[in-house]
Amino acid sequence: MSSTYSTNLAIELIGTGDQSGAWGTTTNNNLGTLLEQAISGYVTQAITDGADTVLTMTPGLSATARNIFIECTGVLTAARNLVVPANKKLYFIYNNTSGGYAVTVKVSGQTGVLVVNGSKVILVCNGTDVVNATSYLATTSILPVSSGGTGVATLTGVAYGNGASAFTAATGAQIVSAIGATAVTNATNATSATTATNLAGGTANQIAYQTGVGATGFLTAPSVVGSYLGWNGSALTWSTISTTTPNAATFNDSGSGDASGISFNGAAARTISYNTVGAPSITGTNASGTWNISISGNAATATSATSATSAASASTAGSVTNSVTFNNAGSGDASGTTFNGGAPKTISYNTVGAPSTTGTNASGTWNISISGNAATATSATNATNAANLVTSNFSIIESGGKLVFKYGSTVIASMDSSGNITSAANITAYGTP
C-alpha cells in the first residue's frame, strides 16, 4: 500500500505495512519540518514585480505555502498578487515590500484580501478564497497610540493627535495650524459642503456666482416684486414680470368678434366669438358639410323634428305600421289629433282649420283682392254693378237701351228708359204677384 497525503497541509500518511525500517525518516520530516512550518514557520517571499507570485503546497516536502507566517519582500512598481493554494489554512501576512504598493493575497481566480504596504494581517483560506480571519479585536483596555490606537475610549469633536500621546478634541487653532490658514478661508477645490453659513464678501439678499477662473461675484436681488434671474446670452440679469394687462379679451356668444388669425398679447382689446375660433353657434350658425356625430335617444320614439331636409339612411327609426291619408273633401280627423304610426289618420282642411277651395268654413271679413271681371260672373248674392242678371230660368239683360226680360231664351217683356213696359202677355195691375 502506497502513502497518501493529508488534505490541507499535505503531510505524508504512511500506508499500512509500508516503509518497513524507514518510517522514522518520513515521521521526522512530517513532525520536524512540515508540521513545524504549519505551526510556527516564518518565511520570506520575494514578490515578483510585473506578474503574480504563485505558491504551491508540495505533498510531503517543504513548501513556502505551508508556513504560517509569510513576510513579503521585494521592490514593487505597482500593486501585485500573492496566489496561494486552495488548501484550508491560517496565514499571517506581512507586506514588507518597497515602493509603497499593496499586495493582494488570494486563491487563483478569486478576489482575496488586499494587504496595504507595511501592514501585518491575519488571513485564512476557507478552501475557496482568502478572507480576513478576524473582524473584531478583543481587548479589555484602551489601545494605546503606540499600538495603533487613539489612547482614549470616547472622543467628541475632531480628533487631534501628536503622534505620541492620546488623541484629544482639536481646537480651532489646532485645525488652522494643521491645514493652514489659507486653506480654511479659501478652498480651491471643494466638492461637497454639508453646511456653509457664510460666504466671504457677500451681504444679505445676494447670490454668489462664478464670474471667471478663480473669481466669484455676487448679484444683489432687486426690490421689485415679480423679478426673476435670467441669462441674456452673455451675462446673468434681473428682469421683471409684468403683473398687469392694459387690455382684455371679451368673450361674446352672439357671433360678433375678431377674425380668425388674430393674436392677443394685451396690447389691444379683443372680442372672441364662435366666428373667431371657426365654430358653429349653439343654434347651428356656420355649420355645414357632413358631421360624423352620434345622436342619443331612439328615432323610433321621436315625437318632434323641427326641420329635416335630408335623411339618406336611417338604420333605426322604428316601424310605421299605419299611414296618413290626405282628403280635400273635408272629411278627416279633428284638430289636435296626434299621428305616431299607431293608427291611420285622414287629414283634410277641417283637420288643420282651413276653408275649402270653394269657401266651406270661410266666415268674417277677408281683406283680399279678387282677380278677374265681374262682367262674366255667373252668380253673386249681392252685386252693385252687373251687366246681366241670370237665374236658373229667368234672365234680365240690357239691349238696345232697354231692359229685356227673358224666360229661358224667350223674350217675355221689356222696359224702356221712360219706364214704359211692353209685355208679350197680359199685365195685371194691383194684383197679387
Residue 185 DSSP symbol: H
Range ranked top by mean pLDDT from 4-8, 44-48, 279-283: 44-48
Per-residue pLDDT of 253-288, as tens digits, reads 776 778 877 777 777 788 887 777 778 877 778 778
Least confident of 129-133, 244-248, 346-350: 244-248
300 phi and psi angles, rounded to 5 deg:
-65, -25
- What was the pLDDT predicted at 118? 93
Q: Which of 15-24, 149-158, 375-384 has the lowest mean pLDDT?
A: 375-384
Q: What pLDDT sits at residue 389?
A: 83
What is the distance between the alpha carbons of residues 266 and 372, in angstroms, rounded to a whole number?
A: 70
Confidence (pLDDT) at 219:
82
Calpha distance 60→58 (Å, rounded): 6
Residue 23 near residue 1 (C-beta atoms within 8 A)? no
The sign one gets for the Cα dihedral 329, 332, 334, 335 is negative
As given in the structure block, the three cell numbers for residue 43 are 518565511
pTM over 0.75: no
Domain ranges of the chain: 4-18+23-132, 244-282, 322-353, 388-428
More confident residue, 391 or 429: 391
Walk across the sheet containing 410-415 and list its strands.
388-390, 394-399, 402-407, 410-415, 421-423
Give the C-alpha separation, 105 to 54, whole Å: 10
How far is residue 223 from each of residues 15, 203, 206, 217, measured CA to CA in Å?
99, 15, 12, 19
| pLDDT single digits (tens) 53-107 | 999 999 989 999 999 999 999 999 999 999 999 999 999 999 999 999 999 999 9
pLDDT at 99: 95
Whether pLDDT at 4 is above 80: yes
Q: What is the pLDDT of residue 89?
A: 95
pLDDT band at 317 (very low <50, low <70, confident <90, very high): very low
The one-letter code for the residue type at 395 is S
| Mean pLDDT over the full length of the chain | 80
Ranked by mean pLDDT, the top range of 3-12, 310-319, 350-359, 419-428 is 3-12
Predicted local distance difference test score (pLDDT) of residue 371: 65
Alpha-carbon distance 102 to 292, whole Å? 80
Per-residue confidence band for 318, with pLDDT thresholds at 50, 70 and 90: very low
In eight-state DSSP terms, residue 30 is: I
Would you say the C-alpha torsion 173, 177, 179, 181 has a positive or negative sign?
positive
